Structure 1
Amino acid sequence: MKHLSQVLTCFIMQASERWKESYQITSKGIQDQHKQHLLHQTEHVVKHTIKGDSKITIISFTDRYTELIIISTLPERRLVEHELLSRGREHEEWQRKYITSELEKNRIDQLFRSSFGHSSLSGTTVVSGVAGIGKTTMVQRMVHEWASGNIYPQFQFVLHFTFRNLNVINRAVSLTEMVLDQYPYLEKIIEDIWMKPEYLLLVFDGLDEYKHQIDFTGRVAGDVSANHCVAPDCRCEIFEMVHSLVQQQLLRGCSVLVTSRPTALDSLEKANVNLWAEILGFLADERKEFVRKFFGSAQLATNVFKHVKENEILYTMCYNPSYCWIICSTLGPLFTQQKCKQPLPKTITQLFSIYLSNLLDNHKRDVEDQRMVLQRLRELAYQGVSKRRIVFNENHFIQHQLKSSKLISGFMMEILERDDTAKNIVYTFLHLTIQEFLAALAQNVVEMLHCAFKNDDGRFEIFI
């Protein structure tokens, strides 16, 4: 009997070892598949031109990416959204002095450690930044670098979500269901992933775009029972799930990255945050590099950058990647078209006016009444600014008597979103600054300014 027991024990141990070996092979294979999936998602960026969708091209993300300045900061400190703190070289000098003397500069591979520099493999990191400063681009870069095997080897899996896409989920779901809906190939090992949360990073991009406010003071907004989501298979609302992940009530030991504009940071002040960071955008070298990568042509880039640097307002704007994109998109044709006699812009209004004029010139035959379409688009833009809406659906288009066209594509891009039952097309302006400029062109300026000055939460700052 003793001999039989020893034989059975040996057999069980061997079977267990074979199972572990088989699981490791399966897990490694699925992890490699996951990395390839993320690489495919992040390897390209869409290049929009002033001529609209007929000139959209796909280019390599690594060829276009310019390093962003990220600093450690405190939740109490806020940069006024869209504020140009000073002008030209003074702004550049302020950036350099502030970064080197007061706050620590971070790279994307340094975001998961405490504010005091101690190594930390778990907890929540919050990265904030004004509109267009590069939060989503930073996330794309970080996910791409992890999938390439260059950073964060401690994480076996990185799961990436955007609040914009999570907005379409209108029912209680479990974390398992949410992950498998986006990454169905993880089904075989999902339970094993949950068993090792310390090897997991969950990324939630764009908190400011989320339709619900998440209260981290102790209760979840809108939740009567206050029963937080405590297990991956527990069905709950999305805002409750995010709350529980950030507060380490769900998957204790996992790491979470949340990005947001400053306007939505108040809800996170009571959250269990390990590191606060802020994207400041570009310094002088990065501005020059962005222009060079945008054009490809060294001579054209030199000419454009020379004009920008000679103009304090435009040069100051270049700290923000979105402004850089608008500036390059507008100035490029002015330097390359030999017959173009249009004066080079020197103010923000001139810059956006030329951008708008070029779009209209390139789509003269697309619509019969450009003025009418533009007016309706202005009203849509203003409604979005006043209600803090940046994503528009078909109902919004119907309300404003708009329909998709090449002219519209010069201002907005179509995004395919999935909800629980179908696939829907939604629209967003190419950049928030374009939406703000169109809103400022709408009628009833006096009335709108009165409304703008009544709201001091930052939503009307570019508009004003």
Structure 2
Amino acid sequence: MDEFCGRVITSDEIRQFQQKLAQYEERQLNIFYEYFHEDLIYIIESLDTPSILRELNFRNLISLEHYVSIKKQCGACAFAEMLLEDIRGSGRDAMLGFWECLFVLQNDHPHPNLLGVLDELDQRGDHLEQSINLDKMGPVQPFYFKAFQLHRSILLEKMLILVEHRAPGLTRESQSFDISERYLDLIVVSSQHFRSRPQHELIATGGIHEHYLQRAQSNLERISPNRLFRWCHRKRCVPQTVLVSGVPGVGKTTLMQKFVYDWANGKLYQRFAFVFFFKFRDLNNDELSLAQMILNEYPYLRNQLDRIFQNPSQLLFIFDGLDESKSSIDFKSSQSYTNPHSIETLNVIVSSLVQQSVLSGCSVLITSRPTRLATVETSIFHRVSEIMGFLPKEREKYFLHFFSDYTMAKKAFHYVRENGMLYTFCYIPSYCWIICTVLSMCFRAQKINSASTMVFFPKTVTQLFASFLSNILLNHCQEGAIHKEHLISIGRMAEHGINSHILSFTKDDLEAFSVDTSSHLVTSFVMESGQPPHVSYSFLHLTIQEFMAALVHYLDYSPERLQKALEEAKSYKDGRGEIFLRFISGLSDSSTRSLLKPYVGELSAEASKHVLSFLQKPIEKDIAVPIWDIDIRKVLNEFACLTESRNKALVSSFIGPNKHFDFSEFYLAPLDCTVLAFILESCKGRELLDLSSCFIQTEGLERLAPTLHTVSDVRLTNNNLRDEDMSCIYSILTHPQCRIQKLSLRNNGLTVESCLPLAWAINKNKSLRDLDLSKNKLVGKEFYQLLAFFSHPACRIERLALQETKLTPEYCGWLLSLTNNANLVFLNISSNFFGNTGYPHIQKLILTHPSLKEIKVGMNDFSEETEKNLLQLQRHKPDVAIYL
């Protein structure tokens, strides 16, 4: 994000910006305000609130105290909405002052959305109103108005319905909904990070999801659908070619469907007179013309197509699913294609549209999986973005939409939220569908069965997909016997697809693996799309394909074939074998296999032994190397497989007597924290867990919480923990079996709001002796109450660090009360702001404390004379070491 570095805004630049804005009427400012509204909400939510309010207060636009109170009571989003509405309602001068405020803020807060808004206003301000009106009203279409109206109405009808597939056993039919009612916002961000991914793309994106959400508060550019073809700050242009990437099932096609629906409904980008929507999986013809490609999909445009081509700037081509194209698309192809009626390959046609050599001035929008883009030259695109999927709020909304019963929806979401392994992939809408399907079946079974009958709720991803499959098989059992050979055929084809990067299969592929599409069982896994003769087949989701690829080795065990599959999956540098390995490991668990036993009989126990033996060798080898040479990522991936297997004994035997776990300065994703929690659960009684600078945040801490109490020394230094995380820390410290003796919360984002819950936790805890709260902004009224707990005669804290916590002289008197704590032997209060006025209290503390052995008081704005006096105190108290 180097292009988003801050710069010093000069007074001349501020004056020029003021002069430029002053030329606009209030009506125009209102238009701009509305146009940028969504960006402004996000910017206000993301930037430092005190900085915004100070700037506005400085210009007498708002009451600072009033809006501080509003944010505290209503939250960031409501605060941003109210602030914008109030400024708009205050008239032209207030709006001008607000824009000036944002212009100044880019000095210290160079958020990309802020820079993009200011840049667009600066570069396009004179023509911006015209551009906004064009997107609202659209161009005039005198020649082909009837064709335009027909095309729009057909697309509106086609895109209106959002189909939600339902697994057999839940309902027979797929369910359909109005897209405007069921569509949930997906997070789209500007991104290039798909360029290199050593991990499986679902795991990699799931792992970094919370990391990106945190970065969104500082320097992550958020791109809503109505910004895809708006001014691009990076390229300094209005983009004509846009690339949207996203992992399988994350919602690329749904986003495109909503995009086209909103255009056809008159809500989005009316500058385009025609939008042509294609799926790559349906375009696997050998050769054709661009004109024929359009007419195959929209035959009613035949008589108007040449006239339509005369205005290429009014055309948008959407190509969905580059990864499903059989053709290899080279976006920098040197082959020239200029006549849309000429016959050419799909590669040349698409690359020519992107390069603007045909229909120059048209716009192109392409979607793809990240893995496909890692081998494609994408620099030619004006905007490259990635769908990150659901935020936590949207995940919960999905559950509420899926379950008609509100209580059941909340119960299901709570179950998943509490289970880190299952929650990891909930950023993917299709995964949410699978987990909701399974849980709805569990709830139904729980309701039907007696209270004494246990219902199996999945705890691992393998168990989730085993439950999903058992639900399908249960339905087929009611219709007749299940032919195991059908499942084996599906599994062999699935494995071939994983190994060969194939998501979309042809009729020939199905025949090669004896997959019979006339079987109802097969159609429960495989979807058909396209029109004859260009029909393609794909699994409901990539993860279902990966599960079936793993399952086949338990259905039809061959030592040679299994060994080869394991070695190949392990060898892939792009990580595409990771989820396959986790599934095949998870199926080694007998309780997981038992879910499928009623339908397919016993799954191979020999395959289970084979898999565990295979996993054991590399782990033993990796664990045996010196601690400083361990490849932590590799070891965590291996233990992730064991986590799926639920084999605690095996984990414990691998870890052995090692009492110290040091992950410091290694980024731990939430999924890694789930794996680490399983390791701690399997190997209780560890002495040290160092998680310093691991980017452990809310979700990661929640996943570790159930096991952190088993460790003696827990270091959470420099993890950007917040006040809201204190409830989790409270639960850890107050666990009845808590054995934490040493806890470091040094250098996090804790404020005075953390003081009371921390004080209550310390009061209840019986093991903690050493606490480091340094480099947190703890000052405030509640800090006095925390000090009161530290000063209580019953307090067990022996070592306390309050370095750089913004303490001022008025706190010195309260520090003196620490003399009541006869257990305290070490105190670090350095790097605060006591000054000479605080010296008398510190002097008395040193001289009168009954047990203090060591105190650090340096960097406190003392004069040289005061520092000398402090050192001379050792003459009177020789048993206390004083450090400046």
TM-score w.r.t. the length of structure 2 is 0.46
Residue 415 (structure 1) aligns with: 529
Offset, 1:327:
0.6
- 2:335 paired with 1:240: no
Measured in 2, the distance between the counterparts of 1:199 and 1:319 equals: 35
1:207 is aligned to 322
1:146 is matched by which residue type in structure 2?
W
Could you say which structure has the larger radius of gyration? Answer: 2
- Secondary structure of the equivalent of 1:322? helix
Q: Are 1:82 and 1:461, in contact at CA under 8 Å, matched by a contact in 2?
A: no
| d(CA) in 2 for partners of 1:189, 1:435 | 43
Question: Partner amino acid for 1:258?
Answer: I
Once the two structures are TM-superposed, the CA of residue 95 in structure 1 deviates from its matched residue by 3.3
Which residue number in structure 2 is paired with residue 431 of structure 1?
Answer: 541
SS of the residue corresponding to residue 106 of structure 1 reads coil
Moved more, 233-242 or 441-450: 441-450
Match of 1:13 in 2: none
Opposite residue 83 of structure 1, the aligned amino acid is I
- Structure that is richer in helix per residue: 2
Q: Is residue 2:483 matched to residue 1:370?
A: yes
Residue number in structure 2 paired with 1:276: 384
- The answer to whether the 8 Å contact 1:75/1:276 transfers is no
Other structure's SS at 1:257 match = strand
One-letter code of the match for 1:238?
L
Per-residue CA deviations over 1:144-191 (Å, capped at 9, x if unaligned) read 110100010111110011110001x122x2211111121111122211
2:412 counterpart of 1:299: no
Pairwise CA distance, 1:140: 0.6
Does 1:55 pair with 2:173? yes
2:551 alignment counterpart: 441
Counterpart of 2:770? none
Question: How many pairs are equivalent?
Answer: 426
8 Å Cα contact 2:280/2:321 also seen in 1 = yes
Q: Paired residue for 2:298?
A: 183
Give distance in 2, aligned partners of 1:344 and 1:118.
Answer: 50
What is the CA deviation profile of residues 121-163 of structure 1, one whole-angstrom value per residue up to 9, with x for unaligned ones? 5521000111111111111110111010001011111001111
Question: How far, CA to CA, are the matches of 2:491 and 2:155 in structure 1?
Answer: 37
2:366 counterpart SS class: strand
1:427-448 CA-partner distances (Å, limit 9, x unpaired): 2211111111100112233210
CA contact (8 A) 1:215 1:267 kept: no
Specify which of 125, 142, 147 is matched with residue 264 of structure 2: 147
Name the CA distance, whole Å, in 1 between partners of 2:502 and 2:493. 10
Maintained 8 Å contact 2:159/2:258:
yes
Find the partner of 1:111 among 228, 233, 239. 228
Q: Over residues 250-269 of structure 1, what are the superposed CA-to-partner deviations in whole Å (9 max), with x where a residue is unaligned?
A: 11111100101111114542
Q: 1:292 to 1:84 in 2, by over 3 A?
A: farther
CA distance in 2, matches of 1:336, 1:201: 47
Change in Cα spacing, 1:293 to 1:76, as seen in structure 2 (3 Å) is closer
Matches within 5 A, 1:62-461: 62-74=180-192, 78=196, 80=199, 81-84=201-204, 93-116=210-233, 122-167=239-284, 169-171=285-287, 173-219=288-334, 226=335, 228-269=336-377, 271-337=379-445, 338-340=447-449, 341-366=454-479, 368-403=481-516, 404-418=518-532, 423=533, 425-443=535-553, 444-461=561-578
Deviates more, 1:281-290 or 1:380-389: 380-389
Distance 1:95 1:121 in 2: 26
Check 1:295–1:229 CA distance in 2 against 1; reply closer, same or farther (3 A cut).
Answer: same
Q: Which amino acid counterpart does residue 287 of structure 1 have in structure 2? A: R
1:86–1:242 distance in 2 versus 1, CA, 3 Å: closer
**Amino acid aligned to 1:314:** L
Would the alpha carbon gap of residues 253 and 424 (structure 1) be closer, same or farther in structure 2, given more than 3 Å must change?
Answer: closer
**TM-score, length-scaled by structure 1:** 0.86
State the Cα distance separating 1:378 from its structure 2 match. 0.8
Q: Could you tell me whether the CA contact under 8 Å between 1:201 and 1:254 is conserved in 2? A: yes
Match of 2:92 in 1: none
Q: Is the 8 A contact 2:316 2:362 kept in 1?
A: yes
SS of the equivalent of 1:256 reads strand
Asked if 2 retains the 8 angstrom alpha-carbon contact of 1:78 and 1:262, the reply is no
Residues 36-85 of structure 1 show CA distances to partners (whole Å, capped at 9, x for unaligned) of 11112111122322216833232322232111000012367556511256
- Pair 452,305 (structure 1): closer, same or farther in 2 beyond 3 Å: same
Rate the CA distance shift 1:198–1:24 in 2: closer, same or farther, 3 A. closer
- Which residue is equivalent to 1:3? none
Q: Work out the percentage of aligned pairs sharing the same amino acid.
A: 38
State the structure with bigger RCO (CA 8 A, min sep 6), 1 or 2: 1
- Code of the residue aligned with 1:313 in structure 2: it is M
- RMSD of Structure 2 on Structure 1 (CA): 2.3
Aligned to 2:601: none
Q: Which runs of 5+ in 2 are unaligned?
A: 1-139, 554-560, 582-884
CA change 1:86–1:384 in 2 (3 A) is closer
TM superposition shift of 1:339: 2.9
Is residue 194–residue 374 contact of structure 2 (8 Å, CA) maintained in 1?
no
Asked if 1 retains the 8 angstrom alpha-carbon contact of 2:245 and 2:252, the reply is yes
Q: Tell me which residue corresponds to 1:31.
A: 148
What is the DSSP-based 3-state SS (H/G/I as helix, E as strand, rest coil) of the residue aligned with 1:131? coil
- Extract unaligned runs of 5+ from structure 1: 1-22, 220-225
The CA deviation at 1:24 is 4.6
Q: State whether residues 382 and 438 of structure 1, in contact with CA within 8 Å, keep that contact through their aligned partners in structure 2.
A: yes
For residues 296 and 546 of structure 2, the distance between their equivalents in structure 1, rounded to whole angstroms, comes to 35
1:84 and 1:317 in contact (8 A); partners too: no
Q: Aligned ranges for residues 39-50 of structure 1 at < 5 Å?
A: 39-50=156-167
Cα distance in 2 for partners of 1:357, 1:270 equals 42
Q: Which moved more, 1:145-154 or 1:443-452?
A: 443-452
Gap change, CA 1:74 and 1:426, over 3 Å in 2: closer
Is the CA contact (8 Å cut-off) linking 1:417 and 1:424 kept in structure 2? yes
* 1:426, distance to aligned residue in structure 2 (A): 3.5
1:191/1:330 Cα in 2 relative to 1: closer, same or farther (>3 Å)? same
Q: Which amino acid aligns with 1:165?
A: D
Counterpart CA distance in 2 for 1:86 and 1:270 is: 23
Contact persistence 1:229–1:235 (CA under 8 A): no
